[in-house]
Amino acid sequence: MAASLPPALDKPRQRGRPKLRPDDAQRSLIADCARQLFLQKGYGRTTTDEVAARCRISKHTLYRLFPGKPALFAAIVDLHRQAMLALPGDYDGLPLDRALEAIFRIDIDPQADKDRVALLRLVMLEAHQSPELGEIVRRHGADKSRTELAGWLAAQASRGAIAIDDPHSAARILMDMIFGAIAFKTVDNLNWPGDDDRNAHIRRCIAVFLNGVRPR
């Protein structure tokens, strides 16, 4: 009787080249390459050919994962949304003010802060030529972040930690208070204050949001 083959050889040989990485990982790598190109050359001047070349993939692979540049930019905003608000996340063991400081990234490192400001600057510079950018940032960035923050605030209200009747409105108010420091600046002055001033601003907004301004 012939000896049976070892388990590894008993299986039929797979044809074709093995898949190097899952689609989700591939999408993240492509989005990061595209972000670098958009920041270097501008959104309007970057072609999908250049994105494929930078990523060392075929255009067929690129278009299989992203139907066009707007989809690429939407993926970039999705990936970097936590640079603005660190949600979802587990903050149950923290006091409310410390939890909100963590959510609003008071501890963000300088390079990550520069990256998020650079993305905002890109949108402001090119939104008049590519109006879809503003809509993408709204749908994939601000709206999703506000929904996540509203969910977190609603959870705090349900356990009696805060008293709010409209979590979505409260989330909008708090985001406007904090991000208003940068949202209405000009492109040439699109920077936060220095780290200490920025952190003091975030803490002050959180204190007003949680405690109000009336003397007690």
Domain count, the chain: 2
- Confidence category of residue 121, pLDDT binned at 50, 70, 90: confident
Cβ atoms within 10 Å of 92's Cβ, excluding its own: 9
Question: Which of the pair, 7 or 168, is modelled with greater confidence?
Answer: 168
Domain enclosing residue 101, as ranges = 84-211
Q: Do 164 and 193 belong to one domain?
A: yes
Q: Do 42 and 149 belong to one domain?
A: no
* pTM score: 0.80
- Confidence category of residue 3, pLDDT binned at 50, 70, 90: very low
Task: Give the tens place of pLDDT for each residue, 24-51.
Answer: 899 999 999 999 999 999 999 999 999 9
Cβ atoms within 10 Å of 14's Cβ, excluding its own: 7
Residue 124 scores a pLDDT above 50: yes
- Confidence category of residue 82, pLDDT binned at 50, 70, 90: confident
d(CA 64, CA 23): 10
Q: Do 91 and 174 belong to one domain?
A: yes
* Paired tokens of 109: 């490192």
